[in-house]
A and B are shown apart, each in its own frame.
Chain A
Amino acid sequence: MTTLYFEDFAPGQIYRGGPYHVTKEEIVEFAREFDPQPHHLDEEAGKNSLLGGLAASGWHVSAMSMRMFCDAILSRAAALGAPGVEDCRWMKPVRPGDDLRLEITIMETRASKSKPQLGFVKMDWRVFNQTEQVASFISSPMFARRTAHVV
């Protein structure tokens, strides 16, 4: 597969990732380690919460989104990390049995003035569930290497 450099990205492009099948075991395992609130661990507690049933920690949803992003783009991009995330929204509960998919829209590309070997690629991530609801949204920049500087 050809490597994706900064110059390969253009606003309006869409990249797709997933599917990611969500299991109860994984929801509970992640929550035990990082977010042990009852509604991420227990069906009954989930029902009695705003989530209306057992649902994944938002941090877990983001981690699963990252995995889909890695497999879809990062594994073949000349990526040089990310400075952070501008906005992350957890919009719908993610539940056992859900099948998630990721849609990445390239929003903006900009060469770095201070680092000529780099460019910024700004992306919107949308995580859809199997009923085509957007379960999560992320707006995030990534650094990518420029082809002119490949040696």
Chain B
Amino acid sequence: MWFEDIEIGARRDLGSYTFTEAEMIAFAKKYDPQPIHIDPDAAKKSIYGGLIASGWHTAAIWMKLAVGNRMMEPGDKKLNRAGVSPGFEDMRWLKPVRPGDTLYYSSEVAGKVDLKSRPTLGLVKSLNEARDAKGELYMSFIGKGFVIRRPTGE
């Protein structure tokens, strides 16, 4: 599939992920060493009442599941992604993620942008979300990815 084949509104479930305290602490020690992310005792005394995941960890798991999902795309549905992204917009960390929480991630095509500067590529914007089993929204952001346009002649 090429940029031209992508339909706005198309939605994919990317799977779920259960956060463990050990992984939350390991990520945060490297990249976000705030007491609420690395120190269960300090976190208990904070406004959050316990350890919570770094928002960047919750977001990185979206990428992990998205890549895993792409690998399972059947051949005729395989999207010709350029594999790079210029960034994202409007990341919202709405509810704290706690040890043992299981989040269900999804991605929905929100928009397509033609690129004058890169005639062989298009930009696809997606609304990406993480919810719990009850459907409560924990995280959302607008992702951006370059997708290859159908070569002329195909």
Give residues in A with beta carbon < 8 Å to B. 33-39, 49-51, 57-59, 62-64, 66-67, 70, 74, 79-91, 136-137
Contacts and interface: CB of A to CB of B under 8 A. Distances in A.
Contacts of B84: 39, 49-51, 58
B91 A84 contact: yes
B18 to A, nearest CB: 15
Contacts of A38: 83
B64 A83 contact: no
Given A70-B34, A89-B86, 7 more contacts: A34-B61, A50-B84, A59-B59, A63-B31, A91-B86, A136-B87, A137-B87
Contact of B33 (A37, A70, A90, A137): A70
Nearest to A62: B56
B67 interface: yes
B123 to A, nearest CB: 13
B31 A36 contact: no
Given A81-B36, A88-B87, A34 B92 contact: no
B62 to A, nearest CB: 9
Given A81-B36, A88-B89, A63 B63 contact: no
A49 B141 CA distance: 25
Nearest to B61: A34
B2 interface: no
Contacts of A66: 31-32, 54, 56
A65 to B, nearest CB: 9
Contacts of A90: 85-87
B60 interface: yes
Interface string B32-58: 111010000000000100000011100
A57 B63 contact: yes
19 contacts: A37-B83, A38-B83, A39-B83, A58-B85, A59-B63, A62-B56, A66-B32, A67-B31, A70-B34, A74-B34, A79-B34, A80-B47, A84-B92, A85-B141, A87-B90, A88-B91, A89-B86, A90-B86, A137-B87
